[in-house]
Amino acid sequence: MMVAKQPYECPFCGIAKTLPSPALESAVVLVDANVFALIPTHHYAGIKGNCLVIPRGHYENVLDIPDNLGSEFFRATRRLAHAMQNAFRCEGISTRQHNGPAGDQDVWHYHLHVFPRYPNDGLHAGRKVPYSTEERMELAASLRAALR
């Protein structure tokens, strides 16, 4: 199910080409052999510190991603969950993933959202709000420190 208009300049592929390791002044939080994680350009409902886990190879959606990447996604998600609890003192973690236009996918490269959660935080009804560059860098630095 290809839904991206061709030619598609994938923003995540552009970032993946700059890796192997995150620069100190970067929104990239974690880099593994086949996946990486970063603080995205937006947060929801004022819940800051959310991350995206992204494969380094281009796969448009869940229908395209190879089975063997599942354990790497789980490992990165679990590491981020621990880092979020340590860095942000959140009381829970939520994940979500979108596929196709009807599934609210807006970047045509598979990615998994990981959110720090707090009681009555309103995530599911929250507005999408842009981060400032400084906020993204500070949050990424906090998570990188918590991952060590």
The domain of 33 spans: 11-147
CATH number at residue 55: 3.30.428.10
Tokens linked to 73: 């996604």
Of 147, 122, 105, 143, nearest to 43 (Cα)?
A: 122
Kindly report the pTM of this predicted structure: 0.90
Chain segment 78-117, per-residue pLDDT in tens = 999 999 999 999 999 999 999 999 998 989 999 999 999 9
Residue 59 vs residues 36, 37, 42: alpha-carbon distances, Å? 14, 15, 22
- If one counts the domains in the chain, the total is 1
Q: Which pLDDT belongs to residue 1?
A: 53
- Residue 3, domain member (yes or no): no
